[in-house]
Amino acid sequence: MTEMNYRTALVTGASSGLGRGLALWFGKKGVKVYAAARRRPQLEALAREARASGANIEPVELDVSEAETTLERIRELDDACGGLDLVVANAGVGGMTDGRNFPWEHAKKVIDVNVTGAVATLSAVLPRMVERNRGHLVGVSSLASCRGLPQNAAYSASKAFLNTFLESLRVDLHGTQVRVTCIKPGFVKTEMTANIQHMMPFLLEAEPAVEFMARAIVRGEDEYGFPWPMDRAVGLAKFVPNVLFDAVASKVVL
C-alpha cells in the first residue's frame, strides 16, 4: 500500500507532536485528514497551516478517554467521508506512577487514554473495514512497552497492552485486505518529553521521527520500532533474567 491508496485518514492526538506531524505528512500527500484532539485552537492552527501548503485537514475536537463518544464520532466521520482508509490511534499520555507512592488518579487517566481510548479509536470502524475489505489500523505504542520500567507501571503496561491488542487483530485479519501496524517510537522531542529530567538516549527531533513513522505506515509494516539502536537494545532487554533486570532497574532514578 502506498500513500496514494489512502483517500481519507483519521489521526488522534493531532494537536501537537507526532500526531500533528503525521496529519501534516499525509495531508501534504493528498490525503483528506481528520485531525482529532481535545485542544480546538491548536487544531485550527494546524488546519490553517495545512491550507497554506495545499493540504486538506479537518479539525475534530475529540477526547478519546470518552470511549462511547469516540466510537460515535469516528463512525460519523466514516459515514461522512465514504469510509476511512487509515486510522491512527496516536493520542497518549505519560507520567510517573511510582509503586512506592502510587497515584491512582493519574494511573486511571493513562489507562483511559492509552488503553480504552486507543481500543475505541481502532475498533470504531473495524467491522466496516472488514466488510469493505480495505483499510489500515495503526497504533502508536512505545519502546517503553518492552518491560516494566521503573516508576512507569501504568505507561509501560498501557503500551504493552496496545502491542498485544494489535498483534491479535493482525492475526485475526490475516487473509483480508485490512492491515494492522504497531509503531514503537523511542525518545522524541515533543510536549510529552519536554519535562523529562532523566537522560533520553538516542533522542530524536520530531520531524525525522514523523518521517520514520509515516514511511513505515505506508510500507504496511507489521511492527516498527525506532531508532534502531534503541529498538535493538530493548529487544535484548526482554531476555535479561528477572533477578538481574530487577536489581539494575530498581537503581534507576527517573
Distance CA 169, CA 38 (A): 27
Percent of the chain with pLDDT over 70: 93
Dihedral angle over CA of 62, 3, 139, 18, nearest 10: -70
Q: Give Cα 232 distance to the centre of its chain.
A: 20
In this predicted structure, the answer to whether residue 201 has a pLDDT above a threshold of 60 is: yes
> C-alpha cell of 135?
483499510
| pLDDT given for residue 188 in this prediction | 86
| pLDDT given for residue 198 in this prediction | 57
Give the 3-state DSSP-derived string for 117-164, with helices as H, strands as E and coil as C: HHHHHHHCCHHHHHHHCCEEEEEECCHHHCCCCCCEHHHHHHHHHHHH
| pLDDT given for residue 2 in this prediction | 45
Q: Which residues are catalytic?
A: 155
| pLDDT given for residue 192 in this prediction | 63
Q: Give Cα 195 distance to the centre of its chain.
A: 20
> C-alpha cell of 230?
534503541
Domain boundaries, the chain: 3-249
Q: What are phi and psi of 28, to 5 degrees?
A: -70, -15
Nearest 5°: CA angle at 163, between 185 and 125? 105
In this predicted structure, the answer to whether residue 186 has a pLDDT above a threshold of 70 is: yes
Q: Is residue 249 within 8 Å of residue 243, measured between CB atoms?
A: no
Confidence of residue 200 (pLDDT cuts 50, 70, 90): low
Most confident of 70-74, 144-148, 191-195: 70-74
Q: Which amino acid makes up residue 253?
A: V
In this predicted structure, the answer to whether residue 161 has a pLDDT above a threshold of 50 is: yes
CATH 3.40.50.720 fits 3-249, yes or no: yes
Return the H-helix or E-strand segment holding 132.
helix 126-132
In this predicted structure, the answer to whether residue 216 has a pLDDT above a threshold of 70 is: yes
| pLDDT given for residue 26 in this prediction | 97
Mean pLDDT across 143-165: 95
